[in-house]
A and B are shown apart, each in its own frame.
Chain A
């Protein structure tokens, strides 16, 4: 079988015996729906394994009962038996692949769906905590590392184990003396293999690191090629890359060295064991205690003893890495979402005031509050601008008002219903958050709008776009609303992406809009359209906007100034200006930051 490089596992990732037991139990529970397929697969594996063992036994029988006794009938019987075994092995062998893969792929599919569903249920704080790359790795690399086990590892593991046990039993019955001789070399093959696994794992980790360094050196040089050429530093970059490339080469060779001595040793051990069988077996034949056929069968069966030991120990690492992956995946499945629908949740009313009552919130237990004792009321249909320095907590306050987080104390209610008592569907229908960046998903423009309302009719989609005055703009694209968004919408300008994002909100037709105003400039071509669409969208709704522009702030009915996690001032623009406090100072700072005029 193909020899595989170690899977690369650091010491912390290794799974302990107890963990392995509970992982196995849980996996079996999860695989319960495909129990029957698994039983069939097992039956196939056992049959095929028995067949491969039966071959040499039949040959031994043919030699001892047929050839050496010149009994042609017995010889022919052996041949017929051999044919039957081979055909059985072939047919069941084909089924074995199908059953095993069926069970395995169904299990992986279930795992993918379950883990993703659990991830999606998590609240924002989970996504603040976990790195995006790590979450993607859980769903890809970690699950894929189990695919190897599913495709051939499990099959190999079971059949190797059965093969080894049966081979030992069989050999013992044939001749216990020769079995002991054959097993003499076993301990050191085992030790050599374990050492090899450990060393090759270490070498592989080193190679992986070097490959990473090498590739990022390459990537950096490609990304920075303009700077490199502008400063004529090509030679220097090449010199550095050569060094990293050579280091990679050396670490590859180190890893080859590990496997080199191991394979030589294994090859030698096999021949040595056979030599001992010939020597000791010959002596036993001379004494008349075993037959020549037995010695022959021993030599033929020896590989059935050595191969499984090697395979089992090589699989050990694959199993370890699958175990480590499962541990992490079950970790996600065991994480309960912090924000979830309460039993007996109610729908929010169609309209109402949004009340924030003495709300305190921290991102991490025990850390500084991000919002402290905040209270405000947003009457239905009014606009509220949140202003304040970066990091003061205005975005956090906006997110709390959309229940992306739950307050630690105090309450937020809409139309008199505490948001925590509302059904999730109803909540997302009444209060919609439009993020700063227009984020596009893969799929068509239409798919991107439907994200907000999967059952939206074509009329509703057209109406939403028309309401914002952007229907023509998207209808004029080569494929209209069916235009594919590729690579996160890189073909669209930031303004166009923002328009799709606004249309999404229009499709939901919420009572409350939460907007995070963009800090960066849009392209001049779409900026006006975005402003017009935004105006249309805000019309007749309650709006909470995290504001960065004075014009936006001035158009709000109410302004809340957030500083150091508290609401320090609230009121209309004129009221706050006359207060001559934080707000007046912010406006002054803006005026002085204006670019000088010619």
Chain B
């Protein structure tokens, strides 16, 4: 998506910061409040050592009212406490809000992206955009208001110190900028080391994972020793990179601790002599010390914030790569409407004219595919493995757009229809039935969550699923999926058919709906299919003869076009290729499936 750029690193960096600025603009009110709160916090915080100084100089040394000073300092403590809490609260609220809204944007965008994008995108990658990358952004945003008030605190302290003892302030503050510098360098140095440790840990996890899931091989061949050697190597690698990280810590952390002490020594040495000379009070000396200590953490924090910002920018670049991808399949600017469905005439005429299509990875599938399906007719599409049968269904749904030619529904080019209108009119039962981690009823009512229960049950009955659903632990309310009840392949398939029926589509596509099913159970689904096909335009993509026989006509797909068209019997008589394809399929079916 980006053109090669000689300064691509810099360019990408700048783009990341720009994105960050855009994101933050939405949060500007909250951030402004955060800064205001931080300001009060800094003032309260800065006042404390000064109050100590006055307390010691006036109260302790000169017999002033101790009660007054004690109460005054305690009051400053109350204010500091309240605003410490407030500042933290606001910072986290804003950063979590940023993270939450970005994640929603990402999710919304992903749901709208064309299928061609999802074909190549890796789920793991997308997941880490939404979790770890947004986590990095959050970690930075939370530091922004905190850092701003830290900066105010630093400025305030420096001004106070400079006003009271300019020379001493100069000497004492001299080492402190290096705290910031070191903290930033440390953060940058330790980050890759931490990533390296994580990478090595992941490799060890791989060895463990393959040893456990491949335990049959390991035990079968006595390969324990070989796996042990792999693990030993990974354990050694983890130790090596971890010690590398420890070396980085040892190089920076004691130094970061050392620098402020240099300032404290300067205060004791120079300040001490000044007190003896009478140019400074003991209270001032103590306050000076306290102020210097007060600067250490904010300075370290600023260094870390900068490093965090760099990481957040890099993360946002990755997030933006997703957000900047335009959906290749989208609603047309001026959509046409499908003609009304009337009870007198079937609607659902499908026409493919001269369709040419190749997948983005270059796999050439259809060249000049022509097919007309009459309203209410059922057609089986038959072809060898990878001949493009499923592609036909995907083009009708507009998962992809044909490179040449057109696909139309009821006389209207699918590209002129709103996606929602088109897809409400075409329902597909996919080869791999994906059910959601939700109740059976919700899975069936997927097309329309407001479907009344009786229509859900009617659809389930039509699909031949009602009886087994009633036998599930909670009937229609049984939760399915990874963390729920697991159905057999045939049962899942029938739920998927019921899901398609509820949508009441003009065109029904059954994409290899029986392939995942045990042949001995196939007839149950076949019965369901026969029921729902009645009186509805149906495309059946199939390879088992019994399934093919359900359709009124058969189209043989070969070399990207329709090679033969007619009834099953006609094709058996006339097309040698058709018999070949069926025989090839059948040969694979001939196996002993031991029936229970």
In the complex the two chains form, is A221's CB within 8 Å of B60's CB? Answer: no
The complex places the Cα of A439 from the Cα of B212 at a distance, in Å, of: 12
Which residues on A sit within 8 Å (CB–CB) of B344?
A: none
CB distance B593 to A548 under 8 Å? yes
Contact with B along A200-233 (1 / 0, CB 8 A): 0000000000010011101111111111111111
Residues of B near A236 (CB, < 8 A) are 449
The answer to whether A234 touches B111 (Cβ under 8 A) is: yes
* Inter-subunit contact A242/B74 (CB<8 Å): no
Q: Answer whether residue B67 sits at the interface, using C-beta atoms and an 8 A cutoff.
A: yes
Interface residues of A toward B: which range?
35 or more
Beyond the given pairs A253-B92, A267-B77, A300-B286, 4 more chain A to chain B contacts, judged by CB atoms under 8 angstroms and listed by A's residue number, are: A108-B239, A120-B224, A276-B70, A427-B222
Do A116 and B208 form a contact, CB below 8 Å, given A226-B399, A256-B92? yes
Check A67–B275 contact: CB distance below 8 A.
yes
Question: What A residues does B399 contact at CB under 8 A?
Answer: 226, 229-230
- Given contacts A97-B249, A222-B126, is CB(A230)–CB(B239) below 8 Å? no
Cβ of A569 < 8 Å from any Cβ of B?
no
Q: In the docked arrangement, what's the CA distance between A524 and B588, Å?
A: 8
- Complex CA distance for A514 and B78, rounded to whole angstroms: 77
Residues of A within 8 A of B249 (CB): 97, 101, 151
A246 to B210, CA, bound (A): 37
A477 at the interface (CB under 8 A from B): no
Is there contact, CB below 8 Å, between A598 and B572?
yes
What's the nearest-Cβ distance from chain A to residue B29, in Å? 17
Q: What's the least CB distance linking B284 to chain A, in Å?
A: 11
With known contacts A121-B224, A548-B594, A553-B592, A252–B76 Cβ distance under 8 A: no
CB < 8 Å: which of B56, B63, B228, B265 contacts A278? B56
Cβ of A275 within 8 Å of any chain B Cβ, yes or no, is: yes
A63 CB contacts on chain B under 8 angstroms: 272, 282, 285
Contact of A256 among B63, B93, B126 (CB under 8 A): B93
Judging by beta carbons under 8 Å apart, are B545 and A264 in contact?
A: no
Distance in angstroms from A385 CB to nearest chain B CB is 11
Q: Residue-by-residue, is A72-99 near B (CB-CB < 8 Å gives 1, otherwise 0)?
A: 1001101100110010011101111110
Compute how far the CA of A540 lies from the CA of B225 in the bound complex, rounded to whole angstroms. 28
Q: Is B590 an interface residue (CB 8 A)?
A: yes
Whether B243 lies near A105 (C-beta < 8 A) is: yes
- Determine whether the beta carbon of B208 is less than 8 Å from that of A139: yes
In residues 247-301 of chain A, which contact B (Cβ within 8 Å)?
Answer: 248-249, 252-253, 256-257, 259-261, 263-265, 267-272, 274-276, 278-279, 281-283, 285-286, 292-293, 295-296, 299-300
**Shortest Cβ distance from B347 into chain A, in angstroms?**
18
Do A139 and B268 contact each other (CB < 8 Å), given the known contacts A292-B56, A292-B60? no
Query: Is there contact, CB below 8 Å, between B220 and A434?
Result: yes
Q: Is the CB of B595 within 8 A of A66?
A: no
Give B395 Cβ to nearest chain A Cβ, in Å. 13
A-B contact pairs, 6 of them (CB 8 A): A55-B264, A105-B238, A105-B239, A269-B81, A433-B220, A441-B210
Interface string of B92-135 (1 = CB under 8 A from A): 11001100100110011011110100100001001100110000
Q: Select one of A72, A78, A91, A271 contacting B80, CB under 8 A.
A: A271
Q: Pick the contact of A101 from B216, B246, B385 — CB < 8 Å? A: B246
Nearest-neighbor residue (CB-CB) of A261 within chain B? B85
- Cβ of A303: which chain B residues have Cβ within 8 Å of it? 293
A390 in complex: contacting residue of B430, B481, B594, CB < 8 Å? B594
Residues of B within 8 A of A597 (CB): 545, 586
Question: Within A516-548, which residues are at the interface with B (CB < 8 Å)?
Answer: 521, 523-524, 527, 547-548
Bound together, the chains give a CA A501 to CA B220 distance in angstroms of: 11
Q: Kindly list chain B residues whose C-beta atoms are within 8 Å of the C-beta of A169.
A: none
Whether A215 pairs with B261 at a CB distance below 8 angstroms is: no
CA distance A520 to B80 in the complex (A): 70
**Known A-B contacts A220-B436, A253-B92; A454 and B265 likewise in contact (beta carbons under 8 Å):** no
Q: Are A271 and B282 within 8 A (Cβ)?
A: no
Within 8 A of A (CB), among B554-591: 568, 572, 579, 582, 584, 586, 588-591
In the complex with contacts A55-B261, A222-B118, A98-B250 CB distance below 8 A? yes
| B223 close to chain A: CB less than 8 A | yes
CA distance A151 to B241 in the complex (A): 13
- Ranked nearest first, the 8 interchain pairs of A and B with the lowest CB-CB distance are A271-B77, A428-B222, A268-B81, A264-B85, A93-B254, A433-B220, A279-B70, A101-B246
CA distance A217 to B37 in the complex (A): 37
Contact residue among A102, A211, A221, A450 (Cβ-Cβ distance under 8 Å from B226): A450
Decide yes or no: A586 and B110 within 8 Å by CB, A112-B231, A120-B218, A267-B84 being known contacts: no
Q: How far is the CA of A82 from the CA of B134 in the complex (A)?
A: 46
**Do A278 and B52 have beta carbons less than 8 Å apart?**
yes
Considering only CB atoms, which chain B residue lies closest to A522 in the complex? B588
Count the A-B residue pairs with Cβ separation under 8 angstroms: how many? 443
Give complex CA distance A151, B208 in Å.
23
Q: Is the CB of A260 within 8 A of B257?
A: no
On whether the beta carbons of B112 and A234 are closer than 8 Å, the reply is: yes
Q: Would you give the shortest CB distance from A241 to chain B, in whole angstroms?
A: 5
Whether A310 sits at the interface, judged by CB under 8 Å, is: no
CB distance from A523 to the nearest CB of B (A): 8
| Contact B437–A220 (Cβ < 8 Å) | yes
Is A140's CB under 8 angstroms from B273's CB?
no
Q: Do the beta carbons of A442 and B257 come within 8 Å of each other?
A: no
Inter-subunit contact A435/B231 (CB<8 Å)? no
Q: Is chain B's binding surface mostly helix, strand, loop or mixed?
A: helix
**A113 interfacial by beta-carbon distance below 8 Å:** yes
The reply on A404 being an interface residue by CB < 8 A is: yes
Contact B428 A249 (CB under 8 A): no
Whether, in the assembled complex, B546 has its beta carbon less than 8 Å from a beta carbon of chain A, the answer is: yes
Docked CA distance A434–B66 (Å): 87
Given A260-B85, A296-B56, A389-B253 contact (CB < 8 Å): no
Residues of A within 8 A of B80 (CB): 267-268, 271
Q: How far is the CA of A118 from the CA of B127 in the complex (A)?
A: 34
- Across the interface, which residues of A come within 8 angstroms of B36, CB to CB? none
- A380 at the A/B interface (Cβ < 8 Å)? no
Instruction: Report if B424 contacts A (CB, 8 A).
Output: yes
Q: A136-B209, A140-B208, A508-B221 are in contact. Are A117 and B228 (CB under 8 A)?
A: yes
Q: Which residues of A contact B89 (CB under 8 A)?
A: 256-257, 260
Please, which residues of chain A bring their CB within 8 A of the CB of B407? none
Q: Are A451 and B519 in contact (CB under 8 A)?
A: no
Stretch at the interface among B18-26, B153-161, B199-207: B199-207
Q: How far is the CA of A260 from the CA of B84 in the complex (A)?
A: 8
Interface-forming stretch among A349-357, A406-414, A587-595?
A: A587-595
B593 near A593: Cβ-Cβ < 8 Å: yes
Q: Which residues of A contact B430 (CB under 8 A)?
A: 226-227, 230
Task: Return chain B residues, CB-CB under 8 Å to A488.
Answer: 210
Contact A241 B221 (CB under 8 A): no
Which chain A residues lie closer than 8 Å to B211 at the CB level? 116, 119-120
A434–B214 Cα distance when bound, in Å, is 12
Is A342 in the interface zone, CB < 8 Å from B? no
Q: Which of A293-337 contact B (CB under 8 A)?
A: 293, 295-296, 299-300, 303
A75 to B275, CA, bound (A): 11
B67 CB contacts on chain A under 8 angstroms? 279
- Considering the complex, give the chain B residue whose CB is closest to the CB of A271: B77
Query: Which residues of the other chain, A, contact B593 by a CB distance below 8 angstroms?
Result: 548, 590, 593
CB distance from B446 to the nearest CB of A (A): 6
Q: Do A292 and B282 touch (CB < 8 A)?
A: yes
Interface residues of A in 101-147 (CB under 8 A from B): 101-102, 105-106, 108-109, 112-113, 116-117, 119-121, 123-124, 127, 132, 135-136, 139-140, 144, 147
Would you call A549 an interface residue if the criterion is a C-beta within 8 Å of the partner chain's C-beta atoms?
Answer: yes
Residues of A within 8 A of B70 (CB): 275-276, 278-279
Cross-interface CB contact of A135 among B55, B86, B208, cutoff 8 Å: B208
Q: B363: CB under 8 A from chain A?
A: no
Is residue A20 within 8 Å, beta carbon to beta carbon, of the partner chain? no
Task: Pick the contact of A253: B93, B276, B436 (CB < 8 A).
Answer: B93
CA distance A407 to B347 in the complex (A): 67
Asked if A94 contacts B96 (CB within 8 A), the reply is no
0/1 string, B177-203, CB within 8 A of A gives 1: 000000000000000000000000100
